[in-house]
Structure 1
Amino acid sequence: MHSFVRSGLLAATAVGALISAPVHAQTTAAAATPADPQAEEDVSRGEVIIVTARRRQETAQKVPLAISVIKADSIESTGNFNVTKLPQLAPTLQVYTSNPRNTSVNIRGIGVPFGLTSDGFEQGVGIYVDDVYNSRVAAATFDFLDVQQVEVLRGPQGTLYGKNTTAGAINITTNAPTFEFEGRGELTLGNLSFRQAKAAVSGPLSDTVAVRLAGSFTNRRGTIYNVTSKQWINEQDNLGLRAQVLFKPSEDLSITLSGDYSAQDPECCGTVYVRTGLTQRALSRQYEALAAAQGYTVVSRNPFARLTDLDAPLDAGNKIGGASVKVKWDIGAGTLTSVSAWRFWDWKPKNDRDFTGLSVVSASNNPSQQDQYSQELRYNYSGDRLDFVVGAFGFHQRIDTQGIEQQGINASKWNLTGALSNDPSVLSGLTARNTQWLKATSAALYGQLSYKLTDRLTVQPGLRLNYDKKSGFYQRRVFNGAGTEISCFNPAPASGTVLAAQCGIYSPQVSAPSASDWNFSYDFNLNYRFSPDVLAYATYAKSFKTIGINQNGLPTDSAGNPITAAGTVKPESVNHFEIGLKTQFWNRLATFNLAAFHTSIANYQVTVSNGQFGVLRGYLANAGKVRTQGIEADFKIRPSDRFSAYANAAYTDARYVRFVDAPCPPELAGGTTATAGQTPSAPGRPGGISPANCDISGQRLPGVSKWAFSYGAEANFPARLLDKEGQVYLGVDGSYRSGFSSNPSESVYTNIEGYALTNLRLGFRSEGFDIYGWVRNVFDVNYFELLQVAPGNVGLIAGQPGDPRTFGATVKFGF
């Protein structure tokens, strides 16, 4: 795929290498140069990083909030080329993905429900690219392309960044067009047939118009071998293009038109067998017995043999793109900014949802198409004692999904009992066709003020008024293997019949939930500057995540009727407290920042499931309350041009405070549902009595490690290569995270052990040239990124192993 564009990028990269003129490949100078007068500190004393966390340019150490700033050179040298890789550099950022659509991005343990994605809820970590909001995590899984830096804002950002930033925001800034001709290129080759090329060129078309063009592709063989398809799966096949035109008729006015397109077309995303665990289903109806009854043996019981035998086609076709117009007009001491944007997301997946080589679920595909439109208008004012920003934001989104789920030839034996289980035709070809759409509209007014009570003490209040309206439609039609539509109601099928068996797998349903709501967010920050390089702050924030609606179908009552009250989900209500200290010392050659936080969320939005095989994959509900609290520390030092190092650490304690009706973990599911007066059986007791739901109050939130660390260091010394003066350098970076739960309700079967990853690089750089070799996961650590519970309470656990050791070489150049 994308062969023409790849060839063009490779050619451009090669030509650029021949004509390149001197420029330092590690473009840290831009980071150290203040972009506006607010960076008034003496930059000669050390590094100054400019951020836009408060919607204006200022130095990172002046911003009274916890923020991780990841520069382009750090992203590139550590191989973190998209959002899913950033947790290796930002310890309190967690990203989990079974495919681009089912991607969770959390900060400090909160942000988005853990499990299969529903269109009806919002994320809690706002993702912005050049001031444009990306409403779906899946729509932000593109490769980083010509990125200047990534800011990870930790903690609620509801005033300036909107309704769905209860956990924080990721603010991505790309390189802007320049009125001086410049360019850069990068080419990487590695094992697993890894190929990556990046190129960017910028320059003037006239005295008032500049343009910037950038492109990249990434291709890598998969890390799991499928013996059924005889192909490597979970590969990478990514293409990215971006174009920007800057019109600057005067020093006070600039208009930037941007367009981008990303395409991913890998054979992805499959799993491997990890283990089985006993549930409370009858022993003859659990994985080992069911597999033996059909003569099935999994290809490997060692997950790190990286072998699978999935029989359904796999695909993760993902197209993302859009266009925006950004207008900045300096008016005296203030700046008026308008950002108009359109984004699209086109998702075409194919999955194997039974996680086996048997044709139990022969198809599980839910392609989606999204269009979103947004408009933001804001005014920033900066004065001697007073700064403020006021603005308005409007947003509209529509998502259309056309789903298909189909049972295979082995489904009857897997799902049914008695004589029907021996008749493959009962379920083979049984198909559910799901049609759904969502329309969401949002509008907001916001403002934040920063006032210096004294030269050292500043107060910063902020507020946001938000309106949301959502409406959706869901219809499931069910067809038997002969293509005849079936009905499961009026009358209900007689027990033991073929129709009853079919309705127990897929049941027709129609729902049309809708909701609207007003919400008010506010925050108050007090910060005190003890010295030019020491800032202390305290923050309280009241924020929310907007209403949700169930878009994957509704749970049903005992008669099989949809429970309409479950169609809408209450908004989350967030109370957040934080204190922090930001310091620089040793002539600003060392930086140490510390933050402590406590966040509680009422009506936390979670994904729950009834555990049955395809009746309902999952739906949204509210947990009573969750709480996350912890301490974060960031340290970096650059004592000389010959050495630099950083170390970041985070302790996070994230728990359900109250969740009394949660879905049960697999060891407590699958048996006869307990009635009044009955005592549920012990965990993992085949044929036992299972609780209807479980009280998991006090348990840890899924996906959250109590301890997380990242570190890195680089040393260099003068050298000469091919008559070029430069530096030989050696760099190391690594990360560690302690164990975490990989299931919404904690299970002994889905706990992932902690692991540490180490990366090395060795290279030579000079003006305009950088070449280095790299090894990632140096010690070839075996670890899991995610574990998943197979449907049907059969006790099967599947997983996605993390990348093995990889190695390669990169050449970068500039002109």
Structure 2
Amino acid sequence: MKTRFASLRVLALLGAGAALAPATAMAQDQTGNDLVENADVVDRNIIIVTAQGRSQVLSDVPVAVSAISADTLENSGTTDIRELTQVAPSLLVSSTGNEANGSARIRGIGTVGDNPGLESSVAVFVDGVYRSRSGNALSELGPLDRVEILRGPQGTLGGRNASAGVISIYTAPPEFTFSGYGALTYGNYDAIRVEAGLNAPLTDIIAARVDGVYFKRDGFYNDVVNNTNINNRDRYLVRAQVLFEPTEDISFRLIGDYSKKDEACCAATFVQPDFAPLARVSPGLNPFARPVGNAPALTSTGNPIVPVLIGLGQNRGALNQSTFNRNIYNTAGRSFEGETEDYGVSGEFNWDFGNVSLTSITGYREYDNFQGSDTDYTQVDILYREAGPSAAARNFRTFTQELRLAGTLFSDKLDWLVGGYYANEKLRTRDNLRFGTQYGTFVSCRIAIAINPALVNPSAQNCLGPNVAALEAANRGTGAFGPATPLIVAGINNLSRVSDVGGTGDVYNQTSENFAFFTHNIVHLTDTLDLTLGLRYTNETKDFDATFGNDNTICPQNRALLGGLLGTPLAGLAGGIISLSCQGNSTSEINGVSISDTRDEDEFTGTAILSWKPNPDLLTYVSYSRGYKAGGFNLDRSALGNPVTFRVAAIDPSLLQFAEETVTAYEIGAKYATREFGISLAGFRQEFSNFQLNTFNGSVFLVQNVNACSASLGGADMDGSATTGSCAADNVVPGVVSQGVEMEAYIQPIQDLNFSLGLTYTDSSYENDLVGNDTGVPLDPALRLLPGDNLSNAPELVATSSVTWTPPMGNSGMEGLFFLNARMTGDYNTGSDLLFGKEQDGYVIVNGRIGLTNIADRFAIEGWVSNLFDKDYTQVAFNTPFVAPQQTYSAFLAEPRTYGITVRGKF
């Protein structure tokens, strides 16, 4: 029976190695529907995509899109979006302190950090339904049909706006044949993965499918103190589908899925010079200054904070071992345990009537995650989030509705599409971030180091002990700080008593309501020349409220005690004590306090593409597009103000707002495709205004829009002052530019041998003379290394390649399988503040699979390996919390080599 989903079956014919698989010359003049009806004669390198809201041959689509087939996904070991990086050179996916906020980047652009208030620059859709954050796709995806990765701003074809790109995941649909399959995998780290599914036609017009995946694996960090492992896998997915096709023109697909993860994530190690040679003590202990000469490593005792850590119980081995030694030493009793549930239901209705088709996609999803953490990542109890149901959590409730009408007019001279989109998202975030039992002593040592390192005594609660007498007796008996000495000493004593206090349950609620109208039209000016015009209007409203819970009574005590010194020469020291007592605006003064705010946005975005096919095998195009990502609220009370000057009576919730991000993009490209060879080339430039940046400065997360000033700031954006470097609003220009070239190609010299190659050169950089939002306010001093440098996790050069060989083995139909792919990544800085010592050298990751398939037309056995050469590299390096300014860094490591064997069966 012919179905609207038959186009998806074409992909079963794809060559496994063709990550880019354009159409052949034989099929250039056929439409997607024609190809579906003639699937038995379609070449292996043809792939049908819906990147423009219509079924089209990939090589006929005048946009930069990578299409990855089911076979390639299976051979490369792709089970979540993170592994897509191995076959898509312009994509990078990483996770940090919580996989719920994993970050996807395309062309070096993405949303970083663990703040759920920021939406993803790269939107993720599964079967046409928007996932609230890209981290939601860092879980089992089950059997897939294909993945489409659209590069550059998106929005005129439906769904959610995206400023950097879209990842569209299409799961394997029901079919009208009875079949089943199963797979069992065993690998190192005691990995066990079981996958099975059943497909059945219930009647001539109804088919159903059920798939399930279970995956369990030990973690690759060994927590020596708590005798457990971290970054393990313990997850499962169940997905059920029903396809109803009463006629050839009407279909309805209903999908329900439920997945759960019960895992401990995400641990970190200390950064050592074996990872980052510049991870050394900087002159004057200034973390922004380049280290000189043979400066000691940040984790050596030459860094004055390191003896403090050791004195408070930090294992020396953790400070001396390699960055990539996966033995870690966390605080006793602290846990990274967490739980994630993700479930939902969606329905897609398609109705063809004449030259017009109607598509409706309705989705409802719920996503719940809680995660404990030893948030300072050391053996000293400085900062933590309690594990369990009362832990820090995020909850999404999302309803989406998309309607599209598409058709042709004027004797097929116009392919038109109009539609509407509505989304309602309810987000609740709970936080219970607390200072640990040793926080007070640790930060008192920071104060003691600032006064005189010789006075440091970490065995004393106030880190001074008997040495306090030296302070009191200094300056001819009046004390080191004159008459204010008793106040300073009392403030330090108070600070030292900050122990196991802080958040008792901050709750943030945000309701987002989004509606949009869009149109996307292709005008066939001649038989070979097309003009595509798209336009979208979006309205976004976000309502926010928060209620705080806190039991830190030391903060108001030190405010009252030392507030009078803020206008004196001792303001720096007094302010430092108050700041550490109240860090992150943690104070009992906000206990029970509620705030609320709202923001409303309207934005027009669009695209224009001129494409020309001088011959059936070659497509060329130029395009312009404007993209948009909504603004929102920083769901972190630390953004409400400086803890030294913070006043509850004057809380201004508007300080939590950040503006919408917009991008103007230009692209020129060409696609050439024959049976034996195909290549796609694109050159692009993207200019971002109000770029949304989330940065951890060692104490709190900063969310700031980034722009540039057309007038010179004379270096004032690169100093340590938060007040210098402003710009007139009329001179504010885009602050981030991403430009470069991309190439994807395949070669198929014979039917059973396929090669693919991808190469991306991207210069994703901050402009010079940076400012904050579009009013021209100064850049935060924690970002003063950004001007003129590349963005974090944005390597300039990335190359991918693969080879797939499936030779016949005798006359029984059995085939061999040899698959190898590699990704080469150039150097890049992994820290969003671009601090020296967070640089990742270039590396190469190789994956492979070898086996026998189609044994007796039923079975397969395969051996596989990921990260074949066990390359050590990091996802993100960051400032170890509260250790600044006597800096040390920590890093979230990427996975080591994993390998195993898989046995498959089907009927």
Residue 207 (structure 1) aligned to one of 204, 207, 221: 204
**Cα distance in 2 between the residues matched to 1:243 and 1:363:** 36
Match of 2:663 in 1: 574
Residues 1:138 and 2:154 are matched in the alignment: no
Compute the TM-score of the two structures, normalised by the length of structure 1: 0.87
Q: Report the residue type matching 2:187 in the other structure.
A: G
Describe how 1:532-681 pairs up with structure 2 within 5 A.
Answer: 532-553=616-637, 554-557=639-642, 559-561=645-647, 562=651, 564-585=653-674, 588-609=675-696, 611-612=698-699, 616-624=700-708, 625-658=735-768, 660=770
Say if 2:314 and 2:378, in contact at 8 Å, map to a contact too: no
Residues 1:420 and 2:462 are matched in the alignment: yes
Deviation at 1:543, TM superposition (A): 1.6
1:91–1:454: structure 2 CA closer, same or farther, 3 Å change rule?
Answer: same
Deviation at 1:490, TM superposition (A): 8.6
Deviation at 1:621, TM superposition (A): 3.4
Deviation at 1:477, TM superposition (A): 3.0
Query: When you count strand as a share of all residues, which structure comes out higher?
Result: 1
1:169–1:478: structure 2 CA closer, same or farther, 3 Å change rule?
Answer: same
Residues 1:261 and 2:351 are matched in the alignment: no
**Cα distance in 2 between the residues matched to 1:661 and 1:385:** 48
Match of 2:551 in 1: 479
How many residues align? The count is 757
CA deviation string 1:355-393 (max 9, x = no partner): 101111133652111101111111111463221111000
Say if 2:152 and 2:164, in contact at 8 Å, map to a contact too: yes
Match of 1:74 in 2: 72
Deviation at 1:499, TM superposition (A): 8.3
Larger Rg, first or second structure (1 or 2): 2
**Cα distance in 2 between the residues matched to 1:761 and 1:584:** 27
Match of 2:802 in 1: 712
Say if 1:188 and 1:197, in contact at 8 Å, map to a contact too: yes
1:315–1:277: structure 2 CA closer, same or farther, 3 Å change rule?
Answer: farther
Residue 433 (structure 2) aligned to one of 405, 410, 416: 405
Q: Secondary structure at the match of 2:831?
A: coil
Q: Secondary structure at the match of 2:432?
A: strand
**Cα distance in 2 between the residues matched to 1:95 and 1:328:** 33
Residues 1:380 and 2:406 are matched in the alignment: yes
Residues 1:356 and 2:374 are matched in the alignment: no
Query: When you count helix as a share of all residues, which structure comes out higher?
Result: 2
Say if 2:640 and 2:656, in contact at 8 Å, map to a contact too: no
CA deviation string 1:730-766 (max 9, x = no partner): 2211111011111112122111111101122221112
Deviation at 1:781, TM superposition (A): 1.6
Match of 1:531 in 2: 615
1:235–1:655: structure 2 CA closer, same or farther, 3 Å change rule?
Answer: same
Say if 2:149 and 2:168, in contact at 8 Å, map to a contact too: yes
Q: Which runs of 5+ in 2 are unaligned?
A: 1-8, 273-278, 287-300, 449-460, 465-492, 566-573, 709-734
Match of 1:100 in 2: 99
Describe how 1:177-216 pairs up with structure 2 within 5 A.
Answer: 177-216=174-213
Q: Report the residue type matching 2:844 in the other structure.
A: A
**Cα distance in 2 between the residues matched to 1:131 and 1:803:** 30
> CA-atom RMSD, angstroms?
3.0
Q: Secondary structure at the match of 2:88?
A: coil
CA deviation string 1:630-684 (max 9, x = no partner): 1110011122123111111100100011563579xxxxxxxxxxxx9xxxxxxxx
Deviation at 1:296, TM superposition (A): 2.6
Q: Secondary structure at the match of 1:288?
A: helix
Q: Report the residue type matching 1:502 in the other structure.
A: S
Match of 1:679 in 2: none
**Cα distance in 2 between the residues matched to 1:715 and 1:153:** 28
1:207–1:662: structure 2 CA closer, same or farther, 3 Å change rule?
Answer: same
**Cα distance in 1 between the residues matched to 2:305 and 2:195:** 47
**Cα distance in 2 between the residues matched to 1:177 and 1:764:** 27
Deviation at 1:800, TM superposition (A): 2.4
Say if 1:469 and 1:515, in contact at 8 Å, map to a contact too: yes
Q: Report the residue type matching 1:267 in the other structure.
A: A
Amino-acid identity (%): 27
**Cα distance in 2 between the residues matched to 1:487 and 1:55:** 61
Say if 1:426 and 1:502, in contact at 8 Å, map to a contact too: no
Deviation at 1:117, TM superposition (A): 2.0
**Cα distance in 1 between the residues matched to 2:904 and 2:858:** 8
Residues 1:809 and 2:904 are matched in the alignment: no
Q: Secondary structure at the match of 1:138?
A: helix
Describe how 1:229-240 pairs up with structure 2 within 5 A.
Answer: 229-240=226-237
**Cα distance in 1 between the residues matched to 2:304 and 2:640:** 24
Give the stretch that moved more between structures: 356-365 or 396-405: 356-365
Give the stretch that moved more between structures: 462-471 or 181-190: 181-190
Compute the TM-score of the two structures, normalised by the length of structure 2: 0.79
1:298–1:520: structure 2 CA closer, same or farther, 3 Å change rule?
Answer: farther
CA deviation string 1:495-522 (max 9, x = no partner): 7799886334623555423210110001
Q: Which runs of 5+ in 1 are unaligned?
A: 1-22, 664-675, 677-689
Q: Report the residue type matching 1:515 in the other structure.
A: R
**Cα distance in 2 between the residues matched to 1:568 and 1:500:** 23
CA deviation string 1:518-559 (max 9, x = no partner): 100011000001111210011100121112222212241562
Match of 1:781 in 2: 871
1:488–1:617: structure 2 CA closer, same or farther, 3 Å change rule?
Answer: farther
Residues 1:763 and 2:763 are matched in the alignment: no
Q: Report the residue type matching 2:105 in the other structure.
A: N
**Cα distance in 1 between the residues matched to 2:875 and 2:797:** 16
1:302–1:535: structure 2 CA closer, same or farther, 3 Å change rule?
Answer: same
Q: Secondary structure at the match of 1:478?
A: coil
Deviation at 1:51, TM superposition (A): 0.8
Q: Secondary structure at the match of 1:578?
A: strand
Residues 1:514 and 2:604 are matched in the alignment: no
Give the stretch that moved more between structures: 564-573 or 541-550: 564-573
Deviation at 1:485, TM superposition (A): 10
Deviation at 1:718, TM superposition (A): 3.0
